[in-house]
Amino acid sequence: MIHCVVYVIDACKVSLLTTNMLDKFAAIRKKTNQLGLPQILLLTKVEEACPLVAEDLKNVYRSVYIEKKARELSDSLGIPLSCVLPVKNYSGELDLDLETDILLFSAVQQMLNYTDSFFENQLPCTISFTCLKPSTEKHIEPQQRAAHIITFSPAGVFGPSIMSVVTSSLSKEQQKKLLSLFSHPRLHLLYKATVHGFTAAAAFHSRCDQQGPTVIVAYSAAGFVFGAYTSKDYTQNGQAIMDKEAFLYSIPAEGDKPLRVAGISGQCAFTDGATGPNYGALVFLHGDKAEFQSNPGTSFNFQAAEMHGNDLNLTEFEVYRVENLGDLLPKPWRNIQWTAERKQQLMKTIQSYKSEIKTVHQARVLLVGPVGAGKSSFFNSINSAFRGNMTCQAIAGTGNKSVTTQFRTYNIKAGKGGVPLPLILCDTMGLEEKADAGLDMEDLVSVYKGHVKDRYQSLQSLLADAPGYKQRVTLNDMIHCVVYVIDACKVSLLTTNMLDKFAAIRKKTNQLGLPQILLLTKIDEACPLVAEDLKNVYRSVYIEKKAREVSDSLGIPLSCVLPVKNYSGELDLDLETDILLFSAVQQMLNYADSFFENQVIEDQDQLDLYRSNEHLRPVGSEETKHQIV
């Protein structure tokens, strides 16, 4: 059997991948995910793609271009950035090279680590503890096998059909200059005309209305990058909108300081109509075409040549929502010890955990959240932190469809071949916008009550007589704590449909008496100050704001909202990341204890409720009749 799949793509041809080729990759990914095979992507010919890397291979992870191509591939193929590995193959050399070898060996090491993830998924679900009878089934240890790895790569010449990826057209330097116009901003791309269309009503207003402060980024045929900012909503009310904070701007090709033009005193900033954005002096999407009108002196005054070069044709038009990230708080709103000693203490606490009920050896925690929030990545991160190297036992992705199609229960081991932790993380398919898509409420209840077997392929319409339905369940099979997982970058983008789904889930979960926690993931992507130093997480005004916002939206106490960072693009473990992850796990176990304490044992017969029919009994225990729930 194949144990790991490796996709191989030329870094020079990432932008030339055709729709047909991407469709082929998507079909391969879908089938590979269904088979539970871990996947890696090799980005080859990095030295040909970037002259700075050709000059010095050690620049590979400092190259803006290589990072851009890696992220572009990650988005196009739905493969996590952590699984994209730039390498340089030997081509015209006669002698070996140290840097080339290190990149190649690092890639092979990741393949073997990911192969281990596949082998761990082949182990039986029954876990042996010191107080349980050992399994009689023999298994070949992963290190005794030869790992089988298969590679896929495009062949031949790429065709002319290009697959568009919705990403910003701003260069790094242009982004820097645009951000300099604001105080600690975060930009969210809402609309891109070459993807969504140069139409006002169907494209612009459908994506940009009621979004709060926004900034327009227009790209003229003359090579100018310019636009407009407003702190007000677009609502199509037909009125003249006053906005003292509004301004026009133009980013020069040379120099550090963008041109910034404030509004004329006493005049409106823009007309809030059903057409394209009308700022008087600049009217965008004129006639639903890739054009704009220039009328200096109306609301704003500027020199046309300096603003846009007098070419009224657009090559691109984007709109971003602008969020003020704020600065750092004087004091953190939670105190965390960022030391190696604290990490070891957390690991020891987790490994030595024992539930309030002696016959329950592992707390079961279910991860629930929208597609792409980071549920599977959270398990992989915890697993990696305890293993000591990067793993991908749970299949993760970056698309808008759920990569997880099975109900999975994952054991975590302390080191390769180590003892399982007293924790089982359960993963299922993500929540989707449509009412009839994604995880179903009735199926979720079946998961809560322990009726769904591990590896059941689909939770849609699960009936009591279905092969994946477990009739006899005990407390060992039930979920003991529910963890909601939400992307910190998308808290403000949660739709009414998604919030309604969460409300329904919360209501049912509360009825069953299950404790709940919320993980706020991707905090480093949400706040640059946190990306710069993870220890700023509890000093970040923005992260605190998002934590309070999601607390209010979902009705979850702020004390139950835990910011975390999953491993995404890293190849090595990080102390601060591990501390946040382990702190979250510790809280899950504490909350699971709350669930166990609420379970009242009324008589001796009910003790069997706490003994799973799929777990081996302690050595020497007497046979008793199972209580069915």
204: in domain: yes
Q: What mean pLDDT is predicted for residues 108-129?
A: 69
523: in domain: yes
What pLDDT was estimated at residue 558? 95
Give yes or no: residues 72 and 196 share one domain.
Answer: no
| Pairing, β 516-521 against β 561-563 | parallel
Whether 351 and 423 have beta carbons less than 8 Å apart is answered as: no
Listed residues 84, 104, 121: the one ending a domain: 121
Give yes or no: residues 211 and 318 share one domain.
Answer: yes
What pLDDT was estimated at residue 629? 35
Strand order in the sheet with 39-44: 84-86, 39-44, 4-10, 149-152
449: in domain: yes
Give yes or no: residues 518 and 379 share one domain.
Answer: yes
Give yes or no: residues 41 and 111 share one domain.
Answer: yes
| Per-position b or e across 461-470, b if 16+ CB within 10 A of its CB | ebeeeeebeb
How far apart CA 4 and CA 6 sit, in angstroms, is 7
160: in domain: no
Residue 609 pLDDT exceeds 70: no
How far apart CA 442 and CA 451 sit, in angstroms, is 11
Give yes or no: residues 466 and 491 share one domain.
Answer: yes
Q: What are phi and psi of 152, to 5 degrees?
A: -125, 140
137: in domain: no
The alpha-helical segments, DSSP class H, found in 155-234 are 172-179, 193-196, 206-208
Highest mean pLDDT among 227-231, 377-381, 418-422, 487-491: 227-231
Total domains in the fold of the chain: 3
Give yes or no: residues 317 and 355 share one domain.
Answer: no
Give yes or no: residues 363 and 310 share one domain.
Answer: no
87: in domain: yes
CATH (domain of 511): 3.40.50.300
Residue 437 pLDDT exceeds 70: no
> Looking up tokens 């599977």, which residue turns up?
376
> Looking up tokens 């730039």, which residue turns up?
86
Residue 616 pLDDT exceeds 50: no
Q: What mean pLDDT is predicted for residues 520-528?
A: 93
Residue 142 pLDDT exceeds 80: no
Whether 314 and 180 have beta carbons less than 8 Å apart is answered as: no
How far apart CA 141 and CA 135 sit, in angstroms, is 15
Give yes or no: residues 477 and 346 share one domain.
Answer: yes
Model confidence at 147, pLDDT cuts 50, 70, 90, reads: low
Give yes or no: residues 295 and 383 share one domain.
Answer: no
What pLDDT was estimated at residue 154? 62
Q: What is the pLDDT of residues 151-180, one digit of tens each?
A: 555 643 233 333 334 678 998 889 889 999
Structure tokens at 274: 């059903």
How far apart CA 407 and CA 415 sit, in angstroms, is 25
What pLDDT was estimated at residue 402? 53
What pLDDT was estimated at residue 391? 83
Q: What mean pLDDT is predicted for residues 249-278?
A: 92
Q: What mean pLDDT is predicted for residues 235-246?
A: 95
Q: What mean pLDDT is predicted for residues 25-44?
A: 88
Give yes or no: residues 309 and 360 share one domain.
Answer: no
Listed residues 121, 136, 163: the one ending a domain: 121
Whether 386 and 348 have beta carbons less than 8 Å apart is answered as: no
Residue 34 pLDDT exceeds 50: yes
| Pairing, β 149-152 against β 4-10 | parallel
Give yes or no: residues 491 and 346 share one domain.
Answer: yes
Q: 486 or 254: whose pLDDT is higher? A: 486
502: in domain: yes
What pLDDT was estimated at residue 294? 95
Q: What mean pLDDT is predicted for residues 78-88?
A: 89
132: in domain: no
Structure tokens at 288: 């639903």
Residue 625 pLDDT exceeds 50: no
Model confidence at 144, pLDDT cuts 50, 70, 90, reads: very low
Give yes or no: residues 273 and 353 share one domain.
Answer: no
What pLDDT was estimated at residue 325? 79
Range of the domain at 105: 5-121
Q: Please tell me the pTM assigned to this model.
A: 0.69
Q: What is the pLDDT of residues 478-507, one digit of tens each?
A: 999 999 999 999 998 898 989 999 999 999
